Amino acid sequence: MKKLLLITGIVLGLSACSAPREPQLTIAPNPTISNVPIAQGKSLTVESRDLRTAQFVAVVDNGRKNVQPIQATSNLRVVLENALSRQLSSQGFKVGTDSPNTVRLDVLDALVKVEHSMLSHNMVTNVQIQLVAENASTKFVKRYSGKATSEGASSVSTEEMEVALNSLLEAVLQDIAQDKQLNTFLNENF
């Protein structure tokens, strides 16, 4: 009886290991790190919200009503909040939790859409982020967005989708880092 239980446990364990897993994308954009600080220790708190209607980061349409949504391996909102915090810290801001000054990152869109046909693919990547910087007396709101498209003769791998989304997220983070209006507002009001 013990041998039977042992064999059953091994078979169940091996079958769980060999079960097919749904693909996921690793989202890890690199922030724009500043070599020259623009702020001298001004404090702020970084917050974020995910305002997307669906939580997947990619959707693959293979035709014939076969649409597959793909999730991220980690929470996109948290990944972007951490990247923005590192970016602002490199610019000389003191990022903490008890500041009256807040910078909130709202994720409005972050999606890779892939359409496959028999011999080709079309990939469209969209990112839209809203930044809200505020304290008790003033507020700054601005949207940053990006779009990238690519076509090819073969199917698209999850790695290619990851590169497309991470590259676009990095471009949007770079736009935020280099935004003179935002930097002026933060320096004058925080």
* Topology (CATH) of 23-189: Double Stranded RNA Binding Domain (3.30.160)
**Residue 132: exposed, middle, or buried by beta-carbon count in 10 A (0-12, 13-18, 19+)?**
middle
- Reported as a single tens digit per residue, the pLDDT across 152-186 is 888 888 999 999 999 999 999 999 999 999 999 99
Q: What is the pLDDT of residues 52-65, one digit of tens each?
A: 999 999 999 987 77
Q: What is the dihedral of CA 54, 59, 62, 65, to 10 degrees?
A: 10
Task: Tell me the angle at which helices 158-177 and 76-90 cross, rounded to the nearest 10 degrees.
Answer: 40
* CA distance linking residue 138 with residue 135, whole number of Å: 6
Q: What is the pLDDT of residue 174?
A: 97
Residues of the chain with pLDDT under 50: 15-16, 18-19
